[in-house]
Structure 1
Amino acid sequence: MNTIIQPTIAALPPLPPPPSSSFPQNPFSLSNPKPSLRPSLSLSLSPPSSSNPKLKPQLLLNFTALPPSQSLPTQKPLLPLTPPNGSDQTHFFFHHLLNLLRLSARHGDHELARAVHASILKLEEDNHLGNALISAYLKLGLVPDAYRIFQSLSCPNVVSFTTLVSGFSKAGREDEAVELFFGMRNSGIDPNEFSFVAVLTACIRILELDLGLQVHALAVKMGYLDCVFVSNALMSLYGKCSCLDYVLKLFDHLPERDIASWNTVMSSLVKEFRYAEAFELFRELWRTEGFGIDRFTVSTLLTACTGSSAFRAGKLIHAHAIKIGLEANLSVTNALIRFYAACGSVNGVKSLFERMPVRDVITWTEMITAYMEVGLVDLAIEMFDNMPERNPVSYNALLAGFCRNGEGLRAFDLFTKMLEEGMEMTDFTLTSVVNACGLIMDCKTSEQIHVFLIKFGFGSNACIEAALLDMCTRCGRMADAKKMLLRWPAEQDRSVILTSIIGGYARNGQLDEAISLFNLNQSEGRMDMDEVSSTSLLGLCGTIGFHELGKQIHCHAFKRGFLTDVGVGNATISMYTKCWNMEDGVKLFNMMPTHDVVSWNGLLAGYLLHRQGDEALAFWSKMERTGIKPDKITFVLIISAYRHTNSNLVDNCRSLFLSMKTVYGIEPTSEHFASFIAVLGYWGLLDEAEEIICKMPFEPEVSVWRALLDSCRLRMNTTVGKRVVKRILSMEPKDPSSYILVSNLYSASGRWHCSEMVRDKMRKKGFRKHPGQSWIIHNKKIHPFYARDKSHPQAKDIYSGLEILILECLKAGYVPDTSFVLQEVEEHQKKDFLYYHSAKLAATYGLLTSKPGKPVRIVKNILLCGDCHTFLKYMSIVTRRTIYVRDASGVHYFSSGQCSCKDYW
């Protein structure tokens, strides 16, 4: 037997046992049917008029409502009796009954269907009429009535069975459909091609692959595999079950294909992210087949264009859809909205929406998602408020959009509203609200949500449990996260949650715990390094500056073929640029087979981190030439690049900022304004920067004022700084870094009293300054240091070495800058405090443990203070070593007494 997958009946699992009787027992029987609308139908056929013998007989329908207590006769079979054969009137009568049943189904007229049913009761049983009645009731959604008709048939045929199997499959009663199909087989009736399609529909809906394989074997045995409808249904099942090889083999062996065959294969390829093959298949269809494409083809190709960022191809498909008259089709337009949203074209999305003659809930939901994708949160909310009807998917789209845009509080408020309205809670809903708690980073709120999910039994869901663990790490609840890890079932994959808790340790400054947990689970083989965990761990290596481990994970990803995954490639680029290795970051970018906007943004961010503004702008020009659509993050990076150029290009920066909306269709956000203000401040245009903030089209967030205040600190401009301080303090931001900036400005200008007042206000509000920490990696271990820290095992050697370095630097001209010490203490005490800052301790340890001539690499979690910056410049002179420090502003290269930041950071 030559088949596609060559299944054999003997090798397959046994068929389900037959029902207890020839047919399944009636699960729909109405013990007390409600005959509130039991019309009696009197049918009379008027004979042809003698005056006009050509006049056709007329069918007279008289509807008389029966009283509720009166029911249809039960002593007769539900299907009536055959009129005399050979009569023209009989044929005419049957024809009209069938037409009336079709009419009732087309117009959703239940009364008409029941009236025709009542008239059929007077006739002898006829399978043709019975099957038509079953079909009509199914189309009207009256599944119990259809099943009662089926049960009343004395000899149901293959059409009777197939019609009801199909109806059960489409009505969500897949198990009954399968049981009925095998009941037909047990009764000796062979299925036809439509029977196979009907039962495969049930398999598709419940993703029953094993049963589908049995049906496939039966179709081969009975010779129905050459039927295009049966093969299409089988390909659809295999595609839904991710058995792409089976789909392709079936397609290759089809003797004839229709457009549904091509659509099924293309959608299966797209589902598996094999976009290039889907496009190639479409080109083959275009070259070889005589029939045209339909709405499913267009929608599938647009999904492929969206997933592969093939924006030019998508626009060509849109043009073709217009040409063949499909643009107005609802499913095509919804796919176009999704496509243009991925392009970042807000105007294109809005134009499509406004031109649509008909919209459904999917359309409105796609618009919400589109606006959220480009950061237009308020427009997304307005779209949601204007929806004529909403479903759980609409709410989930808004909820996920809030999370995507960092609006944790709004997401939490929406979730509360959904609970109050009794909205259905899906796994997606609950995962989103858990992510929202992670964004809020409030310990109490996270505990409340945690208790809520456990109380209602959702905590046992593996996806939600993993999200809960990640939430705990983001809210600083590492002890709870560790308990969840220990309780995780041994039979379930632990890779995702291990990745999450490792990242949590790193996020909470527990770097040793992060690396130890990774090494332990990797050595014991409990951590499967797939694309997701590779991406996450590469991000961790970049965050902590663990270049050696990052290279190892890169090699692992290369051997496993993960670098074809654009997400893994992007994470690897980011890792190298954060680990002081721009060269390998650029090299990897050039080797990647495909790029998305995140790839370009990643390398742009690398150039910015290394303060290479001119290289970033050159790279931006290259990005424009390739046609990659920039997003809002791209513009934050490019605007910021003008701060690090070798010459003043503020005019170019202004032009770019103004062109964001007019040329690229991206509305500037507070983040863009903050970047632009930072550029103006860096080049000394503080008054212009302040004026722009005052003229912003919306209320500026504290981040915008903070950018101006930081510029005042760099330029030591206390005049503008005083005004900005008042603005920031009046807004009462929840971010303690704003208060620290204000305090530093006061202290740098010698206003100790004002600085202490700000610190006191922080204490009263419960804000704590994030402690400054520096670390260095040696022998695959992280060595962290705090100011005046003596906890390191080699503290004695480190302090002795640092004292020698201080003396050498003082001889070379180093003068401690005590203005950075906020305490009102004696001058010699201030110097003693400065000498043992964390960056100096880490640098000394690096000198002691690294080979002569090798650079020293340090990571600091906050900005490098001015005195440490000065000290490290002198340290590079006296030791003749290059010192790399990555702080919150970027990378500092100290060499021969100079720094790459030009003393502005």
Structure 2
Amino acid sequence: MKPFATITKSYLSNYKHKQHIFLQKQFITGSESAQLDPFSSCSKHTPDLHEHSYYSEMAINGDKPNGYDLVYKIRECTNSGLYNHGEQLHCYVLRTGFTANVFVSSALINFYVKMELAKDAHKLFDEMPEPSLVAWNSLISGYVRAGMFRQALSLFLQLERSSVCSDSYSYTAVLAVCGQLNYIKLGKSVHSMIVKSGVECSTFVSNCLIDMYGKCELVEDAIKIFNKMRFKDAFSWNSVIAACTRNQRIEQAVGFLNQMPSPDTISYNEIITGIARFGNMERAIEVLATMPHPNSSSWNSILTGYVNRNNPRNALKLFYQMHLNGIRMDEFTFSSVLSGIARVGAYTWGTLIHCCVVKLGFDEFVVVGSALIDMYSKCGQVNLAEFMFESLPDKNLVTWNAMISGYAHNENSTKVFELFERLKHTNDLQPDGITILNVLSACWHNKAPLEVATRYFESMIHDYKIDPTVEHCSCMIKLMGHEGEVWRAEGMINRLGFESCGGVWRALLAACGVCWDLKVAETAARKVIDLEGDGEFVYVMMSNIYARFGKWEDAGAMRKMMRGKKVSKEAAYSWIE
């Protein structure tokens, strides 16, 4: 990798100030630097900014269009991404009273959905006296595409209670939600609705059922649906292959691949992704080498596999090999390799990759910008991460979480709270479980009062309807332990339904080691042993806690039990790369 590093460093020699990485695009993309750049043969990504000349001025003039004309013009704006013209058409619709036309309103809802303005679409939907099924489906699918799954589910349940009957589009949208949220009971209920309505024979609906069951870890049900299908298309085969690979059924997935009449690139990519995630990386590379038409996604799957296995060096080697083989790199390539760099804090490599990102025109992609923010934060360069965050034209929740996590990672709790408040007032975005976890972590580092952390925790449950995870619960237990109130933790564990989770009881036992609550510690220790079995952690913790209370006989008994059960304390170790 020396030639790549040597050549690319020629860019950075001219960056005397840290912000030059972001601002000197003219230098990076200039003709002289292009001759030196190893990626000069790659085409620079340039967004298509062409707008149809038909929309150079407002489409509506002296003639009064009818509802059909307005629907046509709104669809043109939707397909061309012409937001301003669509807004003008909406104003005309309001002024002329066409909002009562269900087809015009449905077209406008679809327009706002495609513009990723789900809240605006919902406002328009609420103004419709009798929304059509098209309007319902447009808004539900819009929420699904925007990742706002709970809103989509809530709207579907409203549809079921209305006088409008759901159709196959409604069902497939909510099946996608069930798959994403792992709501298997609801997914099965929707399956029953599909059977009753008689649309199960639809290939499209069956494909969505296969996908839902696969994501909910019910592979046999997915295969059963597949085997019942009379007509199978490429999506059917790829869906069942994906269902197998997601659930570590690699050999079964390969069997389906071999039976598939005409495997395509997606089929092979699903196999590579599954092997890279659960199998042998060498085998994944073999599949890549033998597949007919590998693309950037094929390579990205292996790149991501190396990153997820904490092997950033091989990820960088593969990244360089992609360049040598002339593989077109996309935003996901750079996102993956930057994630690997972030894990080891390799700041120099991060800046080198950032130069390539800027040259190829991917610096304004949200997924790449978020990865850069994460990389700079984990390399301790919070100011650069903050600069990237503020300069990104578009931000999604991943971007906000990356910056909030960056502040939390670098123990800047004040900034965490400030950015969280900004996020709360952002349109079409609301915090998720990762956001709240970072805020709770900031409460810990900032030694915030337990009441403050509790307000965030309760807000997550009641205001944002987010189910707490083991990590949330463990963080709250740690905060309770710091203030000597672990007695509250046991009630919280039972109230949230984590009584059968060994991880939270381990967290509680660790917290008791800080605040010296013997009674709660003994309860936690029994729970950990019941749920996870004997381990050195329980015996060492209890021995230390007994010793702190002067109960030397009990402390000795713990040590004796360790010897009797042949449980030994593992030696500590450190890892320096």
TM-score between the two structures when normalised by the length of structure 1: 0.49
Alpha-carbon distance between aligned partners in 2 of 1:394 and 1:626, rounded to the nearest angstrom: 35
Which runs of structure 2 are paired with 1:362-373 in the superposition (5 Å)?
A: 362-370=169-177
* Cα deviation 1:452-505 (Å, max 9, x = unaligned): 3223446x320120121111111131121111122133xx35322222212222
1:111 matched to which residue of 2? none
Local SS of the residue matching 1:529: coil
Q: CA deviation at 1:693?
A: 0.9
- 1:822 pairs, out of 542, 551, 569, with 569
Structure with the higher strand share, 1 or 2: 1
- 1:499 pairs, out of 278, 282, 300, with 300
Residues 349, 370 of structure 1: 8 Å contact kept: no
- 2:335 pairs, out of 535, 545, 562, with 535
Residues 494, 526 of structure 1: 8 Å contact kept: no
Q: CA deviation at 1:259?
A: 5.2
* Cα deviation 1:794-834 (Å, max 9, x = unaligned): xxxxxxxxxxxxxxxxxxxxxxxxxxx935xxxxxx7xxx6
Q: CA deviation at 1:268?
A: 5.8
Change (3 A) 1:511 1:597: closer
Which runs of structure 2 are paired with 1:328-477 in the superposition (5 Å)?
A: 329-339=132-142, 342=146, 343=148, 344-345=150-151, 347-370=154-177, 376-387=183-194, 388-389=196-197, 390-391=199-200, 392-397=203-208, 400-401=211-212, 407=216, 409-410=217-218, 412-419=219-226, 421-422=228-229, 425-437=232-244, 439-440=246-247, 442=248, 445-457=249-261, 460-477=263-280
Alpha-carbon distance between aligned partners in 1 of 2:309 and 2:539, rounded to the nearest angstrom: 25
Local SS of the residue matching 1:658: helix
Alpha-carbon distance between aligned partners in 1 of 2:193 and 2:535, rounded to the nearest angstrom: 40
Structure with the higher helix share, 1 or 2: 2
Residues 611, 644 of structure 1: 8 Å contact kept: no
2:26 matched to which residue of 1? none
Change (3 A) 1:648 1:395: farther
Alpha-carbon distance between aligned partners in 2 of 1:716 and 1:275, rounded to the nearest angstrom: 64
Residues 478, 507 of structure 2: 8 Å contact kept: yes
Alpha-carbon distance between aligned partners in 1 of 2:543 and 2:75, rounded to the nearest angstrom: 64
Local SS of the residue matching 1:689: helix
1:310 matched to which residue of 2? 117
Residues 608, 641 of structure 1: 8 Å contact kept: yes
1:578 matched to 2:378: yes
1:486 matched to which residue of 2? 289
Which runs of structure 2 are paired with 1:318-329 in the superposition (5 Å)?
A: 318-320=125-127, 322=128, 325-327=129-131, 329=132
1:605 matched to which residue of 2? 405
**What one-letter code is carried by the residue in structure 2 that aligns with 1:503?**
T
2:316 matched to which residue of 1? 515
Alpha-carbon distance between aligned partners in 2 of 1:670 and 1:583, rounded to the nearest angstrom: 32
- 1:651 pairs, out of 451, 455, 459, with 451
Q: CA deviation at 1:636?
A: 3.8
**What one-letter code is carried by the residue in structure 1 that aligns with 2:295?**
R
**What one-letter code is carried by the residue in structure 2 that aligns with 1:368?**
L
Alpha-carbon distance between aligned partners in 1 of 2:155 and 2:294, rounded to the nearest angstrom: 43
1:663 matched to which residue of 2? 463
Alpha-carbon distance between aligned partners in 2 of 1:590 and 1:334, rounded to the nearest angstrom: 35
Alpha-carbon distance between aligned partners in 1 of 2:222 and 2:243, rounded to the nearest angstrom: 10
Alpha-carbon distance between aligned partners in 2 of 1:562 and 1:461, rounded to the nearest angstrom: 27
* Cα deviation 1:151-172 (Å, max 9, x = unaligned): xxxxxxxxxxxxxxxxxxxxxx
Q: CA deviation at 1:311?
A: 4.1
Local SS of the residue matching 1:623: helix
Change (3 A) 1:520 1:299: same
Residues 307, 339 of structure 2: 8 Å contact kept: no
Local SS of the residue matching 2:306: helix
Q: CA deviation at 1:252?
A: 7.2
Q: CA deviation at 1:382?
A: 3.5
Change (3 A) 1:379 1:557: same
Q: CA deviation at 1:416?
A: 3.1
Residues 709, 724 of structure 1: 8 Å contact kept: yes
Change (3 A) 1:395 1:640: farther
Alpha-carbon distance between aligned partners in 1 of 2:362 and 2:517, rounded to the nearest angstrom: 51
Alpha-carbon distance between aligned partners in 2 of 1:731 and 1:526, rounded to the nearest angstrom: 52
Q: CA deviation at 1:576?
A: 1.9
Change (3 A) 1:402 1:633: farther
Change (3 A) 1:647 1:499: same
Change (3 A) 1:378 1:264: same
Q: CA deviation at 1:403?
A: 6.4
Which runs of structure 2 are paired with 1:144-163 in the superposition (5 Å)?
A: none
Alpha-carbon distance between aligned partners in 2 of 1:309 and 1:474, rounded to the nearest angstrom: 32
* Cα deviation 1:202-222 (Å, max 9, x = unaligned): xxxxxxxxxxxxxxxxxxxxx
Alpha-carbon distance between aligned partners in 2 of 1:261 and 1:552, rounded to the nearest angstrom: 52
Change (3 A) 1:745 1:465: farther
Alpha-carbon distance between aligned partners in 1 of 2:302 and 2:319, rounded to the nearest angstrom: 10
Q: CA deviation at 1:266?
A: 4.6
* Cα deviation 1:157-214 (Å, max 9, x = unaligned): xxxxxxxxxxxxxxxxxxxxxxxxxxxxxxxxxxxxxxxxxxxxxxxxxxxxxxxxxx
Change (3 A) 1:250 1:618: closer
* Cα deviation 1:656-708 (Å, max 9, x = unaligned): 33333443344445554444334434544322112211223576544444443
CA RMSD after TM alignment:
4.1
- 1:632 pairs, out of 432, 440, 456, with 432
Local SS of the residue matching 2:429: coil
Q: Which protein has the larger Cα radius of gyration, Structure 1 or Structure 2?
A: 1
Alpha-carbon distance between aligned partners in 2 of 1:495 and 1:481, rounded to the nearest angstrom: 15
Residues 739, 759 of structure 1: 8 Å contact kept: no
Residues 400, 432 of structure 1: 8 Å contact kept: yes
Residues 743, 756 of structure 1: 8 Å contact kept: no
Residues 259, 291 of structure 1: 8 Å contact kept: yes
Q: CA deviation at 1:582?
A: 2.0
Residues 436, 460 of structure 2: 8 Å contact kept: no
Residues 303, 335 of structure 1: 8 Å contact kept: yes
How many pairs are equivalent?
Answer: 508
Local SS of the residue matching 1:664: coil
Residues 604, 637 of structure 1: 8 Å contact kept: no
Residues 684, 715 of structure 1: 8 Å contact kept: yes
1:26 matched to which residue of 2? none
Which runs of structure 2 are paired with 1:612-627 in the superposition (5 Å)?
A: 612-627=412-427
Q: CA deviation at 1:563?
A: 3.3
Residues 368, 380 of structure 1: 8 Å contact kept: yes
Residues 312, 340 of structure 2: 8 Å contact kept: no
- Which of the pair has the greater relative contact order for Cα pairs under 8 Å at 6+ separation? 2
Q: CA deviation at 1:838?
A: 3.8
Q: CA deviation at 1:714?
A: 5.7
Change (3 A) 1:589 1:299: farther
Local SS of the residue matching 2:363: helix
Residues 639, 679 of structure 1: 8 Å contact kept: no
Q: CA deviation at 1:753?
A: 6.3
Alpha-carbon distance between aligned partners in 1 of 2:518 and 2:240, rounded to the nearest angstrom: 43
1:183 matched to which residue of 2? none
Residues 546, 579 of structure 1: 8 Å contact kept: yes
Local SS of the residue matching 1:626: coil
1:594 matched to which residue of 2? 394
Q: CA deviation at 1:603?
A: 1.6
Alpha-carbon distance between aligned partners in 2 of 1:561 and 1:289, rounded to the nearest angstrom: 43
Residues 77, 111 of structure 2: 8 Å contact kept: no
**What one-letter code is carried by the residue in structure 2 that aligns with 1:497?**
S
Local SS of the residue matching 1:564: coil
2:43 matched to which residue of 1? none
Which runs of structure 2 are paired with 1:288-303 in the superposition (5 Å)?
A: 294-303=101-110
Percent of pairs with identical residues = 21
Alpha-carbon distance between aligned partners in 1 of 2:108 and 2:565, rounded to the nearest angstrom: 58
Q: CA deviation at 1:630?
A: 1.8
Residues 113, 139 of structure 2: 8 Å contact kept: no
Alpha-carbon distance between aligned partners in 1 of 2:317 and 2:540, rounded to the nearest angstrom: 37
- 2:508 pairs, out of 704, 708, 713, with 708
Listed as ranges, the gaps of 5+ residues in structure 2 are 1-47, 546-554
